[in-house]
Structure 1
Amino acid sequence: MMNKAVKITLGLMLVGSAVFAQSLADARKAIDAEQYQKGKAILKSLTTSQPTNAENFFVLGNLYLTTSPINQRPDYIDSAKAAFDKGAAANAEYPLNFVGLGAVDLAKKGNPKANFDKAIALTKKKDHTTDLYIGKAYTYAPVPKIPEALTHLEKAKALNEKDAQVYLALGDAYRSQMKNSEAFSAYRTAYDLDKTMLRSKVELGKINKLSKAYPEAIEEYNKVIALDANYGPAYRELAEAYLPWALTSQKEYDGRLKQGLTFYEKYMDLTDRSLDSRLRHADFLMWAKDYKALEVEANEMAKLDKVNPRVLRYLAYSAFENGNYAASSQALKDFMAKVEPTRIISQDYLYLGRAQMKDTTQFAEGMKNITKAVSMDSTNAGVMAEIGSALFKAKKYDEAAKAYEIAVKNPERELLDYFYLGSSYYFDYAGKKNANLNPPNDLLVKADSAFSYLVQRAPTTFQGWQYRARINRLLDGAEDAKGLAVPYFEKYVNILTVEKPEEAAKPAGVRGLVEAYTYLGSVAARRDGDNVKAKTYFDKVLALDPNNTTAQQAKKAIDGSK
């Protein structure tokens, strides 16, 4: 049996091992590997077991700030401030917690000067870390201040030109300015100074990715994996390189996209699947348009934080794309109720409006939200062509016209949208007139305006001229007193008989020419009193339709008037 002394000795060894496993170095390593939940757990344990160690509180607060920009989480910023305050209380002479409080000021869009000045005043003459972290704070702030960041990072470099962390931070600052050459050089120096700093090699790959040199970026990430097959961020970056690379080749798209998704799953396996890493995974799935997987991930995230606004956004988007419109609408309403108005983006209004329009009772509200989305970003108008088409096919011409009015605001609109816009107004007028609802001529004017735009840009679109003729005939009145439709029917006839004779032989072309010749003959006879011209038109009608009674009776009337 094991004696008491041996048991005590082994017990102390196990306790010592547990403490060693939860060192600050382990916490930093976990954070670097984007195992944020693990890093947070270690740091919370350290701040409890070592309450006078101010550095533990600084690293914990910095972790909250590191993840907050990803999630835009005010509660993380508040948690960061609480950690820095405790660190400052634990050791008022330790400068970095005051740097942290300055970073919190930046996160809240305030002035960090007082806290940064205090940190600098507490810093020993040759200590470069205060300037290093002030530089990082300016770089990673929600509104980066890179000139200020570089000022402090250069001071840190002057004090200690052998610290790889300084060059890593310089690389990040330069990259945010799109100075990729300077950033590349800084990252390379960081790795040369510290071969264990895999993050710097990952950043080298990012520079290649930003330059759209995807194979070179992938090669750099694979070098990192060769050094450490369990370094998660390399797999995430691989995934995020394969997706834009996939977009460059239709032939390779499916294969590269699948490979990217595989790498992202590997990344998730190597992290702790915390809410932070899941949110970034959701970003990727959204980008890859893998909405089935996104909805699954969003529901898993909801189990961790069911009130997180960003989780609600992903639930809403994925539910819509998967046909769950009621769930999408509710999730977006919940999301909008929880966030500041400034955090609601055009896509939120767009998805909400589209979801609402799937329910005919919410058409007006849906249109209102889509209009809001378009006012924020005109490219959102493109979706309205799809909605307008569905409404047009359902013969809901009033609603279709409203949809196409928004669709044509899209900078990349199709000319066909103007055809359907004009047609929607035209058929809306016709339907209301047939129902004796006395529709306003304004509907016809709007229809004519749409067709006018169409034929100006595509002059041989004969249907546009035909509709302009019909619209102007309605505007003229039953007796065609002014002959308003004449120039439009004449243009229509010219296109079908001269420019596109193949259309004249089609059934629709024959019917269209009969309509045009009949109208032109009627105007020639009644308005102009030109029976010769009128008879010529009616002869053309009978050549196309020998049994046309209108033309036959018109010719008899002309002959009888002689």
Structure 2
Amino acid sequence: MKYLEMKLIKKVVNAGLLIAVVGTTAAYGQNIAEVKMAIDAEQYQKAKTSLKALAASKPSAEVYFHLGNLYLADYPDSAKALYSKGVAADAKNSLSYIGLGAIDLRNNNAAAAKANFDKAIDEAGRRDNDPYIYIAKAYIAAPKPDYNTAITYLEKAIAMDAKDAEAQLALGDAYRGLDKNSEAFSAYRSAYELNKSLLRAKIELGVINKRAQAWQQSIDEFNAVLAINPNYAPAYRELAETYNNWATKSTDIKDFEAKNKQALDAYRKYMDLTDRSLESRMRYADFLILAKDYKTLESEAQEMAKIDKTNPRIYRYLGFAAFENGNFQESITAINTWMSKADKSRLHPHDYLYLGKAQIKQGNAAEGVKNLTTALDTTLYSKMEPSIAEVVKTGVAEQMSAIGKDLFSAKKYEDAAQVYELSLQAPKPLVADRFYVGYSHYFHYVNVPEAEKSQHKASLVRADSAFSNVSKVVPDYALAYLYRARVNRLLDDEKNPKGLAVPHFEKFITLQAATPVDKLTKNNKLDLVDAYYYVGYHSILSDPNKAKTYFNKVLELDPTHAGAQQSLRSLATN
């Protein structure tokens, strides 16, 4: 007999496996059924307490498997130890090998996982399709999900029992992971039709609508679940997340505030219906980040720390919230604590992003930029599902623009240049960010002491390359030519200049020529005077008539320009 299962946390947190329930006695079966109901209601602490009691009084592979699943997300080593105890308790039970295979998937060891899964199937009865379902769930819940392999196992499970509602439920999860929403909807609907008590299947129908931004339809679906069972907590959680998503799409501030309030109210009901376990509180913390309610998040994280001082993820929440609330040193301390205690495989780009931002705010730009650079390191994204990795990396890269702007405003030009370069890893970098890479390098060079300039020539070379890249992307971006000219003027041989800036000044002049003189701003005129005079000066020997033309253009904009006046007098006497 199979029972409902409930995803413990969002897929990106890689929570546990489907809970299998196999009773050996009526009392034991009742206890396991109660555990399963607690997990389905997301009362994780209640489930954990019951399982620990069963492990002490009636240890079995099933009990260790359930308990291992509850530890899998945050304490994989503890989960592995529990699955191993399951093997010791009953080496013929399939569940323990499935748990060990899930650990292998977390460790990116697909071959070892397959060996454990094959062992699980070998130990199962020929008519038992449960292992196929649980193995499929392991692939779905892995850090790098393999939905196609999961579907292969689920097709075998359904071939063995066409009326298996849980197989259809898992099939819906796999199809949804592949963004095949029509197939997922069909599978979830089949699951609910096969077993009307399987409320998660009905919940997932609403989730499909939410993914399509059919907000009201998804809300109606969740409310329909609550009409069946008013105390079904996951429905309130989904309501909260739907209202929050809907709010973020609103362009009206009053509508945003109203929907965000509905979201928070629904999540409070969810918390009231759960046992406020650490797991449900962490899920609430994830939601508060989405809702940008950092005051509540900081308070909630402090409460979590009182419940469990050993779970390092609490410090991540404290770090994020402290930063958003302007407590930068507290943010640095908390994130460093999280990063020192957590397994390195669990570190996320946002950990480095927040740490880097906090360090910059505290005045340690050098260390901050190092962490921002790590936040975009490809190794951090290789362990994610590709679609999730793309979204996360885009979000991180897009934040670099604002950070670079702050650094530039603080006249930390070298640091600003590095951060703007990071912003170019966004799928569609802003033209302004491309320009500010070069602009920052240029200003870094011109602001270093004269005695140190020779040590910083590389900044000019980088600036030249950056402005060149801008021109390739936007050929009529006039400022890129102006500053590339100024960079090349500085790169030129001071004693025997070759006029390296001439072609870039000429391109700038051509682009500015379309603007009538009376429409030019004061800065436009100053820039054109600079360009005209430089080109005129470097044309004196090669083309005197061209030189006269440009010096006269200088005087049209600045009749008092002494250099142009003197050059014209010299040309007139030659």
**Considering the TM-score relative to the shorter chain, is it more than 0.5?**
yes
Q: CA deviation at 1:217?
A: 2.0
Whether 2:523 is the aligned partner of 1:528: answer: no
Secondary structure of the 1:116 match is: helix
TM-score, with length taken from structure 2: 0.79
How far apart are residue 277 of structure 1 and its match? 0.8
* Residue of structure 2 equivalent to 1:11: none
Which runs of structure 2 are paired with 1:376-455 in the superposition (5 Å)?
376=378, 379=394, 380-432=396-448, 434-435=450-451, 437-455=453-471
Segments of structure 1 that go 5 or more residues without pairing to the other structure are 1-18
Residue 16 (structure 1) aligns with: none
Contact 1:462 1:495 in 2 (8 A): yes
Q: How far did residue 336 of structure 1 move?
A: 2.3
Q: Partner of 1:7 in structure 2?
A: none
Name the SS for the 2:275 alignment partner.
coil
2:271 and 2:280 in contact (8 A); partners too: yes
Taking a change above 3 Å as real, the CA distance of residues 167 and 541 of structure 1, as seen in their structure-2 partners, is closer
Distance 1:540 1:47 in 2: 91
- The answer (yes or no) to whether the contact 1:397–1:428 under 8 Å persists in 2 is yes
Unaligned runs of 5+ in 2: 1-26, 105-112, 382-392
Is 1:140 the counterpart of 2:138 in the alignment? yes
Question: Residues 473 and 154 of structure 1: is their aligned pair in 2 closer, same or farther, counting only changes over 3 Å?
Answer: closer
* Aligned equivalent of 2:77: 74
TM-score of the superposed pair, with normalisation by structure 1:
0.81
Shift of 1:273: 0.4
If asked which structure has higher relative contact order (CA below 8 Å, sep 6+), I would say 2
Q: What is the CA deviation profile of residues 68-118 of structure 1, one whole-angstrom value per residue up to 9, with x for unaligned ones?
A: 4554643244345546755x4xxx9xx7xx132122222221433576357
1: CA distance, partners of 2:153 / 2:490: 69
8 Å contact from structure 1 (residues 116, 134) kept in 2: no
Aligned to 1:555: 568
Counterpart in the other structure of 1:209: 210
- RMSD over aligned CA atoms reads 3.3
Which of 538, 545, 556 does residue 543 from structure 1 map onto?
A: 556
Task: Give 1:315 deviation, angstroms.
Answer: 1.9
- Aligned amino acid, residue 374 of structure 2: K
1:37 aligns with 2:52: no
Map of 2:365 onto structure 1: 363
Residues 500 and 232 of structure 1: is their aligned pair in 2 closer, same or farther, counting only changes over 3 Å? same
- 2:198 maps to 197
Q: Is the 8 A contact 2:51 2:66 kept in 1?
A: no
| Partner-residue secondary structure (3-state), 2:427 | coil
1:470 partner amino acid: R
Over residues 231-284 of structure 1, what are the superposed CA-to-partner deviations in whole Å (9 max), with x where a residue is unaligned?
A: 111111212223333344333444333322221111111000001111111222
SS at match of 1:108: helix
Distance between the aligned counterparts of 2:397 and 2:190, measured in 1?
A: 47
CA contact (8 A) 1:432 1:438 kept: no
Equivalent-residue separation in structure 2 for 1:271 and 1:72 (angstroms): 22
Aligned residue runs from structure 1 range 128-527, under 5 A: 130-132=128-130, 134-141=132-139, 142-143=141-142, 145-147=149-151, 149-150=153-154, 153-154=157-158, 157=161, 161=163, 164-165=165-166, 167-172=168-173, 175-176=176-177, 180-251=181-252, 252-360=255-363, 362-376=364-378, 379=394, 380-432=396-448, 434-435=450-451, 437-478=453-494, 481-496=497-512, 498-501=513-516, 505-525=520-540, 527=541
Query: Secondary structure at 1:438's aligned position in 2?
Result: helix
Instruction: Indicate conservation of the 8 Å contact 2:133/2:167, yes or no.
Output: no
Partner Cα distance (2:48, 2:558) in 1: 85
Tell me the secondary structure at the aligned position of residue 376 of structure 2.
helix
- Is the 2:298–2:318 contact (alpha carbons within 8 Å) kept by the matching residues of 1? yes
Q: Deviations over 1:268-316 (max 9, x none)?
A: 1100000111111122222333222222222221212223132222222
3-state SS, counterpart of residue 542 of structure 2: coil
Cα 1:101–1:529, aligned 2, differ >3 Å: closer, same or farther?
closer
> Aligned match of 1:108 in 103, 109, 115?
103
AA at the equivalent of 1:237: E
CA distance in 2, matches of 1:529, 1:169: 79
State the AA in 1 paired with 2:124: I
User: What do the CA deviations read for 1:422-469 (whole angstroms, capped 9, x no partner)?
Assistant: 222222222336356434543323222222222333333322222222
- Label 1:402 to 1:203 Cα distance change in 2 as closer, same or farther (>3 A): closer
Residues in 2 aligned to 1:507 and 1:513: alpha-carbon distance in whole angstroms: 10
Q: Which amino acid aligns with 1:64?
A: L
AA aligned opposite 1:455:
S
What displacement does 1:548 show?
2.5
Change (3 A) 1:371 1:503: farther
Amino acid at match of 2:409: K
**Rounded Cα–Cα distance in structure 2 between residues aligned with 1:45 and 1:261:** 35
Q: Give the corresponding residue for 2:15.
A: none
Q: 1:366 to 1:486 in 2, by over 3 A?
A: same
Instruction: Supply the distance in 2 between the matched residues of 1:307 and 1:494 (Cα, whole angstroms).
Output: 66
Deviation per CA, 1:336-389: give whole Å up to 9, x if none: 2223322222222222222222333x4333222222222226533333332322
Which whole-Å CA distance do the structure 1 matches of 2:529 and 2:557 have between them? Answer: 7
**How far apart, in 2, do the equivalents of 1:66 and 1:502 lie?**
73
Closer, same or farther: CA 483–42 of 1 in aligned 2, 3 Å? closer
**CA 1:266–1:518 in 2, change beyond 3 Å: closer, same or farther?**
same
